[in-house]
Chain A
Amino acid sequence: MKTEITSDSVRQMLLAGDTTLDPLSRLLERNLDAPKLKVSAAPYGQVFQILLNGAHPAWESQPDYLVIWTAPHLTLPSFGKLMRFESASHAEVLREAEQFAEAVLRAAEHVPLVILPTWILPASERWIQTLSWRQDVGLANPLAKANLVLAEKFDGTTNIVLLDAAYWQASLNRPAHDPRMYAVAKILYSQPLFEKAAAEIKSVLRGSLGLASKVIVCDLDNTLWGGVAADDGPNAIKLGAADPVGECFHAFQGVLKGLSSRGIILAICSKNEERFALSVIEDHPAMVLRKKDFAAWRINWKDKAGNLMELAEELNLGLDSFVFLDDSPQEREQVRQMLPQVFTPELPTSPSELAPFLASLNRFEVASLGREDTERTQSYQAERGRKEARELIGDVENWLRSLEIEVRASPLRRETLARVAQLLNKTNQFNLSLRRMDEESFWAWANDPDNSVFVFQVSDRFGDSGLTGMASLSKVGNDARIVDFVMSCRVMGKKVEEALLAYMCSQARANGADRILASAINGPRNAPVREFFAAKYSSGEEASLDCARVSVPATIQLTEDKLAPSVGV
């Protein structure tokens, strides 16, 4: 069953990556070609959480499309090691690539179409030529193999598309990576690369919806060959190796022939004398395309818009699937005005640009992607519900265990104050009190003998996330109150908050607190922290924690840094 696609129906897309992808989401939303998109970029660094856990909040938009764009050194820990010339085997990189592919396969079960740009590296990372392809040393070698792992793993699936980001990178005349933007906002890729990616992704989506072009209608003179056959004579047209311009038209015909072999229909619309023009096509020795390559033609002196309408009728295809190629600006303008649904691009002024130009149109993507009917979307949603309950949870546990997460707790120190103030003031989602304080006020508060502040460093086998958590206790009579409980979204979805809370409870109990209180401020975006605490309260007693519901997860190793002098109590 095929859903009717209207040009204004808006589809949901989810972007997940290990770097900031928001620039891409804006470009995709602002590209108004069908299908229009509503794009949400998940906080970066949540890729595995999103892929493995169908209950992750990122899925709430029930996306039609999932784009996963990761960097090899960030998603494959061993690749990161190789990049730093630390010892790691290529086999390990490939094992990690397989794990990633498995997670993608799992996610693909509950979203209609998954799009992944292949792994690429900044050009600056490949500078040691002699080592680049060497086994177990260079980066080019495992990068190619890891991408092949993805290609092989996804072979046979119908709704995962690998897009060739290396080709995007190569097609730019500016760098694809921008170290400045990484420093400013963890944006790894440059704006030109994002622009290219947005155009390519939209093109893939059009193809998947059957909106790709199906017919190319060509003019003849100065479009398929150089010169005007009727004026110059059929033997004087520029076509074939005898002449550089002729060589260019020969190459252009070769590209058209290739498209025709892929199923694109070719047709002719030309102001010429039909019998003469067809004889040139059949008899010129350098013609690549012959009469049999064209499904239909209108070679006459009538206006081209009318001819195109006749061709559409003859081919039984909509004009919106037509691309019209004509060297004459007047003809193009007439067709654009009368038949705006026909795609009528400007032709390059240089014949040498004709062959590459067709590929740059992004009009001829394949249609056999994804499964696009509404029934399927519904069944996905049902399936998602079941899977959450069953295997997904088990997968998440396995994945978390494999991360080898370590949380190190220590008291606030002067050196960590700046980072703690930043966390307190910038964090919205996992912030219990949402109070904002400058460094000095917070330092003064922390030094009150009734208050104590703890900071948490989180690391896993992917690396060190740094100081990503902070929590504070305040003595209130015989009770202890958790005043702040702040965690960066970088470490969300790994049960780190469980470990943090367990540590805070143990601190409160060590200080002899009767009850441990915590109440969340109702902020616009802190639902995650509110929901987390709601599950920890003693039944019947609002805002008082039940310590039996708090424990350090088996997947996390919690250590305590006691050497530093404690602040406060």
Chain B
Amino acid sequence: MEDILAILNDIHPGKDFAKGNDFFAQGVLDSLDLIALVAAIEARYNVFIDVEQIVPDNFKNLSAIKALLARQGVTI
């Protein structure tokens, strides 16, 4: 989880990602951040996130990201 927070903070420094429940609805992340987030998660966890998975719902908060990675067999 620390790694995910580090990735998010790298994309948008100074935002509190630990508490957010919907980064996109709250305006903390936008669609371009989503692209950067996908790339960073793929590089960090050596996973491939397929095109239909690249939707805000899968990245809107820490538990959504955790669930997405769990589906890829990665536990964080």
Residues of A near any B CB (own CB < 8 A) = 22-23, 26, 179-181, 183-185, 187, 190-192
Kindly list chain B residues whose C-beta atoms are within 8 Å of the C-beta of A192: 39, 43
Task: Tell me how far the C-beta of B65 lies from the nearest C-beta in chain A, rounded to whole angstroms.
Answer: 17
Q: Residue on B with the closest CB to A22?
A: B32
The yes or no answer to B75 lying at the interface (CB within 8 A) is: no
For residues 10 through 45 of chain B, which have their beta carbon under 8 Å from a beta carbon of chain A?
31-32, 35-36, 38-40, 43
- Are A191 and B51 in contact (CB-based, < 8 A)? no
- Interface flag for B76 (CB, 8 Å): no
Is B36 a contact partner of A191 (Cβ separation < 8 A)? Answer: yes
How far is it, in angstroms, between the C-alpha of A365 and the C-alpha of B17 when the chains are bound? 39
Q: Which listed residue (B36, B50, B51) contacts A23, Cβ 8 A?
A: B36
Q: A180-B51, A180-B54 are in contact. Are A185 and B39 (CB under 8 A)?
A: no
9 closest A-B pairs by CB: A191-B39, A180-B51, A22-B32, A184-B54, A183-B51, A181-B35, A23-B35, A185-B35, A187-B35
* Chain B residues with CB below 8 A from A185, complex form: 31-32, 35
- Sample of 26 A–B contacts (CB below 8 Å): A22-B32, A23-B32, A23-B35, A23-B36, A26-B36, A179-B51, A180-B49, A180-B50, A181-B35, A181-B38, A181-B54, A183-B51, A184-B35, A184-B51, A184-B54, A185-B31, A185-B32, A185-B35, A187-B35, A190-B39, A191-B35, A191-B36, A191-B39, A191-B40, A191-B43, A192-B43
**What interface size band does chain B fall in?**
10 to 19
Chain A contact residues: helix, strand, loop or mixed: helix
Question: For residue B11, which residue of chain A has the nearest CB?
Answer: A26
CA–CA, A185 and B38, complex, Å: 13
Contacts of A180 in B (CB 8 A): 49-51, 54
What residues of A have a CB within 8 angstroms of the CB of B39 in the complex? 190-192
Among A23, A26, A180, A183, the most chain B Cβ lie within 10 Å of the Cβ of A180
Set of chain A residues within 8 Å of B32, measured between Cβ atoms: 22-23, 26, 185
CA distance A31 to B1 in the complex (A): 26
Q: Which residues of A contact B49 (CB under 8 A)?
A: 180
Smallest beta-carbon distance B22→chain A, Å: 19
What is the distance, in angstroms, from B34's C-beta to the closest C-beta of chain A? 8
Residue ID in chain A nearest B55 by CB atoms? A184
